[in-house]
Amino acid sequence: MNRVLVLLSIVLLAALTAAQSAPENKDVLVISDIASWHHPTKAVFAKYHVKLLKVELHHNRTYPVFFVEFPWDPQTGPNHKLLSRLQLDLLDANGKHNYALKDEQDKIRYELTWHRKTQTLEEEPVELPGYPQY
């Protein structure tokens, strides 16, 4: 009986330790092999010459965060129209599902939300830590 209790205690302790050391966001799927990943959004990125580095799928793999490098500065006025066209094309290629663009080089993340009722795309730019303040 004592052996069973000891064995059960060890198993429970191991399970508890594994649960505590598991990553916080275990439902995130990271796609880093972009060459073998197939999705309609890849053609959109190619059309705008935006380099797709990796994709993270969050919220039960329904919310993609596209890690990108822009060949142009998305934060300047003249390029904002180009960015808007890219975002709308991505929305269509992503089946009108919400998504985010993250450019770690420029320290910016754009969270994009599609409002079905009003048929509008809302863009929320978020500066990432480490962005120089002017």
Domain 25-127 belongs in CATH node 1.20.120: no
What pLDDT digit, counting tens, does each position of 54-77 carry?
999 999 999 999 999 999 999 888
Whether the CB-CB separation of 69 and 53 falls below 8 Å is answered with yes
Domain chopping of the chain, boundaries: 25-127
What pLDDT digit, counting tens, does each position of 17-48 carry?
333 333 455 689 999 999 999 999 999 999 99
